[in-house]
Amino acid sequence: QWGMIKGAQMAAYDARYIGVDFDDVRYDLVARAMGCHGERVEEPSQITPALERAVKSGRPAVVDVVVDKWANLTPPDLENLDAVWMEGCELPW
């Protein structure tokens, strides 16, 4: 599921949400199918080695990190989250 988006929808729309629950999508396999480096990790200790392998591959990469689906539903600072989402976007206004 897309936890942060779900949390924001639940907060804004009286605990209702739509389009954010998914059954175990394997983003790592999608990346591999597109010729990219794809890797899935399930333990925190696996993250750094996976990132190192991703960089070393020299290709676009996806490191799919499995987390508890209810963890961190709401970011602590929505303004900073908005800045991250919009990074690199040029808006016409």
Q: What pLDDT was estimated at residue 50?
A: 96
The low-confidence residues of the chain, meaning pLDDT below 50, are none
Burial of 4: CB neighbours in 10 Å, binned 0-12, 13-18, 19+: middle
63 in Cβ contact with 53 (< 8 Å):
no
Q: Are 72 and 41 in contact (CB under 8 A)?
A: no
pLDDT for position 36: 98
pLDDT, residue 47, reads 94
Q: Choose among 46, 84, 40: nearest CA to 61.
A: 40
Q: What pLDDT is recorded for position 87?
A: 67
pLDDT of residue 40: 97
Whether the predicted model's global pTM rises above the 0.75 cut: no
